[in-house]
Structure 1
Amino acid sequence: MSAAAGGPLRVLLVDDDPMVRSALRMVLGGPGDIAVVGEAADGEEAVAVAAATAPDVALVDVRMPRRDGISAAREITAAGGTRVVVLTTFGEDEAVLAALRAGADGFLLKDTPPAEIVAAVRRAAAGEPVLSPDVARRLIGRAVGGAGSRDVVPGAPAGDDERRRRALRSLSRLGEKEREVAVAVGRGLPNADIGELLSMRTATVKAYVSRVMAHLEVDNRVQVAIVVHDAGLV
């Protein structure tokens, strides 16, 4: 039974290191409201297991044999119904950015404390960003202007000026309040902090974020943040 039907959050673990998968299974098995429904050792297996188990959240490593986590994340998110959170280290900025543009909802470092991993899975399932503000700014800033980013981010525009023009055209579809919410998302703020900043209820913020994603024709908050950074607003 899925989380949407009142059951536990269903999680898929994807990592080529069985020790990592074992540790994650132990961490996620403690609270009782999360169930690990499958494991995979590479991207090819991950796509197949995701299709068979329909998880709410997939935790996906970046570097794996046969098929990497980025292409697997792209296919899993395209199928719909599963949020993808990338597992990474600080040395993999480019790969993480490519995964975010491919539709992943965020990332976790492999040394993230257990309680934060559990919280991140719950946030991802609820559509919240799984990105700390400081690291989000660092990674997204590299995506929109960093050296070499155009070579590693699939579908990136050919240059900074073109990137900014496209982003500004997209943002022109937003109303004033929607634009304020989009900028706050670009800063990596969760809904509760956005509500406090803009004097809005959390439920109202969620509604605005959904409208912003619809207007910008993107699938998640990370992609909203990238548009905002492309436009130079953060």
Structure 2
Amino acid sequence: MSDPITVLIADDHPVVRAGLCAMLANEADLEVVGEAGTADETVAMTRRLDPDVVLMDLRMPGGGVEATARITEGKLRSRVLVLTTYGSDDQILSAVEAGATGYLLKHADHADLLQAIRSAAAGEAVLAPSVAAKLTQRVRSPRKDALSAREAEVLRLVARGLTNPAIGAVLFISEATVKTHMLRIFGKLGVDDRTAAVMAAVSRGLITVDD
């Protein structure tokens, strides 16, 4: 027999993690190797455990999109499969731009989720039908002020009061790179300061600040 597909479950709700663990335990070809409740824990455990698939919730401390970006930008081999309650256009696009292999909603059937995990491990893109439709429409009608996943990530940290050096430390990028992101954000939003950028992005639904 081939080795089982290893899975890391990233969700800040213990009950959800327990339910997923119980479901996957019944599958001979799937093995849960760890659980994480924050973005930092998820990234650290992904680096340490090297799972085939990370089941990623979006609304966790530190943000699931941020964790996804850190995993994919860090050249880790793990595939990220988003499993969340939320399916807004901006969240879908941000997760895909951050490098997620797939995006499912938590009301998905068990069989669909199990197949999605197997497909993600094989490197195949997995999108719930409703998510695929939203993503297709968004790509066909892009917004000129749309932020990239990294730009949204930077701006959420700005909203939390972090300075450029602090943002660089959190995201493992240089202060100069942070400044470049900020200049692009200002240009897209038509503003010239950090506070205005946050207010504009929130009011247009480009970011949320309650993650």
* Same-fold call, TM cutoff 0.5: yes
Answer whether contact 1:73 1:104 (CA < 8 A) is retained. yes
**1:112 maps to 2:69:** no
Answer whether contact 2:5 2:121 (CA < 8 A) is retained. yes
**1:80 maps to 2:92:** no
Answer whether contact 1:88 1:110 (CA < 8 A) is retained. yes
- Decide which of 16, 22, 34 is 2:18's aligned counterpart: 22
Q: How many residues align?
A: 151
CA RMSD of aligned residues (A): 2.3
C-alpha displacement of 1:101: 0.5
Residue equivalent to 1:63: 59
C-alpha displacement of 1:29: 1.3
Q: Give the 3-state SS of the residue equivalent to 1:119 in structure 2.
A: helix
Tell me how far apart the structure 2 counterparts of residues 34 and 55 of structure 1 sit (CA, whole Å).
11
> Residue type of the partner of 2:64?
G
Answer whether contact 1:97 1:139 (CA < 8 A) is retained. yes
Aligned residue runs from structure 1 range 1-234, under 5 A: 6-65=2-61, 67-78=62-73, 79-146=75-142, 150-151=146-147, 153-154=149-150
C-alpha displacement of 1:107: 0.8
C-alpha displacement of 1:131: 0.8
Tell me how far apart the structure 1 counterparts of residues 108 and 144 of structure 2 sit (CA, whole Å).
27
Answer whether contact 1:94 1:153 (CA < 8 A) is retained. no
More helix by share: 1
- Residue identity over aligned pairs, in percent, reads 42
Q: Give the 3-state SS of the residue equivalent to 2:100 in structure 1.
A: coil
